[in-house]
Amino acid sequence: MEGNVWLYGLEKKLASFREVGFSVRRMMKEPEKLKEAIIVQAEKAIKEDGAEVIILGCTAESGFMKELSRRLGVPVLDPVVIAWKYAEMLADLYRNLGVAHSKLYGYEPPPVEEGWLK
């Protein structure tokens, strides 16, 4: 993830990366402990690093967005919810306005002779 921050030129907008130290298996088995670990790290990011938004980094952390936002006093973004809402927005733009991604160059379909399209 840190590499993508640099790749997209967002390094000056990132306060920090923080880890909760849970495996995905443990996240699934101990959701309440996970929530508290997220709060500890998020509070540090806010107080020590100046974070104004918390972006959860794993879909296994999904489901806590509203409660964490309320408790922390800053927006908390859940990757599952954000991805879903983004997909809804793109579908709505296409359905209602006909806006879609470009079909040229980087987003053109593969050549027919490659056999991907039927």
Q: What is the pLDDT of residue 45?
A: 98
Determine the pLDDT at residue 110.
77
**What integer pLDDT is reported at residue 118 of this predicted model?**
67
* DSSP 8-class letter at 68: H
Same domain membership, residue 85 and residue 42: no
For residue 84, the model assigns a pLDDT of 95
Do residues 99 and 92 lie in contact, with contact meaning Cβ atoms separated by under 8 Å? no
Alpha carbon distance 114, 112 (integer Å)? 5
Helix (H) or strand (E) holding 55: strand 54-55
Q: What is the pLDDT of residue 62?
A: 86
Residue holding tokens 């040229």? 104
Report how many domains make up the chain: 2
Spans in the chain with pLDDT lower than 70: 118
- Same domain membership, residue 90 and residue 39: no
Q: Which domain holds residue 93?
A: 79-118
Give me the pLDDT at residue 112, please: 83
> For residues 68 and 39, what is the distance between their CA atoms, to the nearest angstrom?
7
- Shared domain for 4 and 45, answered yes or no, is yes
